Amino acid sequence: MKDLLLGRRAELEALAATRQASGAPVELDQARTGRLSRMDEMQGQEMARAGQARAEIELRKITAALQRLDDGSFGDCVACDEPIAPARLQADPAVVLCIKCAEAREV
């Protein structure tokens, strides 16, 4: 699991570098860029910011999962302390709730 988490963290950090370029301020010089092109750039910029925000949340979850690995609580539901199903952890190693507790919170 640790290798999966570290690999995903490396992917997210690599993507962060490319997103920073996409989030650069849009030039307002109409002589260089038309109004519709600027609107497209601004939309792309907002999409890059939203992607960056999601990546930051996932990085925090990965960091927390790595901490749980180190302190021995990895794989235990934070709500009920029961073990999280291995298949659920395989699908998302950063998950903190067992399926029962996750379903209870969705209701």
pLDDT band at residue 98 using 50, 70 and 90 as cut-offs? very high
Q: What average pLDDT does range 47-65 have in this prediction?
A: 90
pLDDT band at residue 62 using 50, 70 and 90 as cut-offs? very high
pTM beyond 0.75: the answer is: no
pLDDT by residue (tens digit) across 7-45?
999 998 888 777 665 555 555 555 555 666 777 777 877
Q: Identify the residue with better confidence: 4 or 19.
A: 4
Neighbouring CB atoms inside 10 A of 77's CB total 20
Q: Which residue has the tokens 């996750």?
A: 102
DSSP string, 30-79: TTTS-HHHHHHHHHHHHHHHHHHHHHHHHHHHHHHHHHHHHHT-TTB-TT
